[in-house]
Amino acid sequence: MKRITFGAQMLICFVVIAVGDCAATAFDIPILFNIASALGGAAFVLHPVLPAWVTWGDKKTMLNAVRVGGVLATALALLTRFNV
């Protein structure tokens, strides 16, 4: 199975969050933005990737740091309230 690159995953997350924001605005359901943001963070928890130019440090440690960042982004999306 081909692994998704960092740039492709960032683009996918951006599109998911943009669609969630547009849907939240169009349907007047603010929770859709939070759900889309949580999905964007969860993508990095489930499939952590690094940019190709990152060459320093231990790769396993850095991927764990990306997972922690994904958990923090997901928690932030679930704990905050958008447009209330």
Report how far residue 34's alpha carbon sits from residue 54's, in angstroms, rounded to the nearest whole number: 30
The domain segmentation of the chain, as residue ranges, is 6-79
Residue 38, pLDDT above cutoff 60: yes
| 45-63 confidence digits (pLDDT tens) | 999 998 888 878 888 889 9
pLDDT at 82 over 70: no
Rounded to two decimals, what is the model's pTM? Answer: 0.83
Give residue 83's pLDDT band: very low, low, confident or very high (50, 70, 90). low
